[in-house]
């Protein structure tokens, strides 16, 4: 865990730096292959910028409304770089809604747009998991294993590393330059990425030590993952009709 990296007189928040780096590298990869999806690089950058800014603002305002006492010290705390002072769920919802509105106004084809940003999402997933490792978030349950890491006063499953490896494997399998991807139908690239990401999260959630639990011990994230996985598989089934023997 390394939340802060000191570079001379400058204290760099490592989790935030990794997220910004992931966005930049992801956009560079998407831009390199964007001609395949029929979208201009300017529209891609604008879409991601609108999505990111609206998500950040929404996440911070939602946290402010839920926990106003966290900002009573100074109004400057509203602009804090502390990633713990965000509501990621609300931020994600706001980001999706604003992105959908922007795409509709620009008359962007939904499937091609989702395919175009998939490489950026795949890289961002890696950066996000590494940022969790740096901050100590998304930590694992206690475990006495040769590869356990010491975090929050206990030996734990390195769930952040598990998730990073899974994200790397998904990016490798769905690398935009592969012939496999070139044969996908519009929308299939994004759906395959979403399916693999949700499936890996469904499995790895069982090693998390910070899961939100429902009555009966059910993990909320796994229930949502099951629903998402079912939707993705259904959508892929509709997109790719059965061409086998009748």
Q: What is the DSSP string of 11-77?
A: EEEHHHHHHHHHHHHHHHHHHHTGGGGT--HHHHHHHHHHHHHHHHHHHHHHHHHH-GGGGSS-GGG
Instruction: Measure the CA–CA gap between 243 and 146, rounded to whole angstroms.
Output: 48
pLDDT tens-place values along the chain, 246 residues long: 677 777 777 777 888 889 999 999 999 999 999 988 888 888 888 998 899 899 989 988 888 888 887 777 666 777 776 767 788 778 888 998 999 899 889 888 889 999 999 999 999 999 999 999 998 888 999 999 999 999 988 999 999 999 999 999 999 999 999 989 888 999 999 999 999 999 999 999 999 998 888 888 889 889 999 999 999 999 999 887 654 443
The radius of gyration of the chain's CA atoms, rounded to the nearest angstrom, is: 19
Distance of CA 187 to the CA centre of its chain: 18
Each domain of the chain, given as residue ranges in start order, spans: 40-107
Q: What is the pLDDT of residue 243?
A: 43
Cβ(240)–Cβ(231) below 8 Å:
no
In a 3-state reduction of DSSP, which class is residue 140?
strand
Q: What is the pLDDT of residue 245?
A: 46
Q: What is the pLDDT of residue 244?
A: 44
Q: What is the pLDDT of residue 158?
A: 96
Distances (CA, A) of 86 to 16, 33, 83, 164: 12, 32, 6, 22
Instruction: Measure the CA–CA gap between 165 and 207, rounded to whole angstroms.
Output: 14
Strand 4-7 to strand 10-13: parallel, antiparallel, or no bridges (unpaired)?
Answer: antiparallel
In a 3-state reduction of DSSP, which class is residue 155?
strand
* Strands (DSSP E) found in 107-179: 149-151, 154-156
Q: What is the pLDDT of residue 241?
A: 66
Q: What is the pLDDT of residue 75?
A: 66
Cβ(160)–Cβ(139) below 8 Å:
yes
Task: Calculate ∠ Cα 186-189-193, nearest 5°.
Answer: 150
């Amino acid at each position: 865990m390394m939340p802060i990296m000191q570079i001379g007189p400058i204290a760099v928040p490592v989790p935030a730096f990794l997220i910004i780096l992931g966005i930049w590298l992801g956009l560079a990869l998407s831009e390199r292959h964007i001609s395949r999806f029929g979208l201009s690089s300017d529209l891609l950058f604008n879409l991601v910028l609108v999505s990111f800014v609206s998500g950040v603002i929404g996440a911070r305002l939602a946290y402010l409304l839920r926990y106003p006492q966290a900002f009573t010290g100074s109004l400057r705390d509203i602009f804090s770089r502390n990633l713990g002072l965000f509501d990621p769920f609300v931020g994600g919802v706001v980001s999706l809604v604003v992105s959908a509105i922007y795409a509709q106004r620009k008359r962007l084809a939904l499937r091609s747009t989702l395919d175009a940003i998939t490489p950026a999402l795949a890289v961002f997933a890696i950066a996000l998991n590494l940022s969790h490792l740096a901050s100590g978030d998304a930590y694992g349950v206690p475990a006495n294993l040769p590869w356990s890491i010491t975090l929050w006063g206990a030996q734990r499953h390195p769930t952040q590393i598990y998730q990073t490896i899974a994200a790397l494997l998904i990016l490798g399998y769905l690398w935009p330059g592969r012939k496999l991807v070139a044969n996908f139908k519009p929308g299939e690239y994004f759906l395959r990425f979403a399916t693999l990401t949700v499936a890996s999260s469904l499995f790895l959630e069982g090693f998390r030590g910070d899961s939100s639990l429902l009555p009966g011990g059910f993990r909320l994230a796994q229930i949502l993952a099951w629903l998402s996985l079912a939707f993705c598989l259904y959508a892929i089934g509709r997109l790719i009709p059965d061409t086998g023997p009748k």
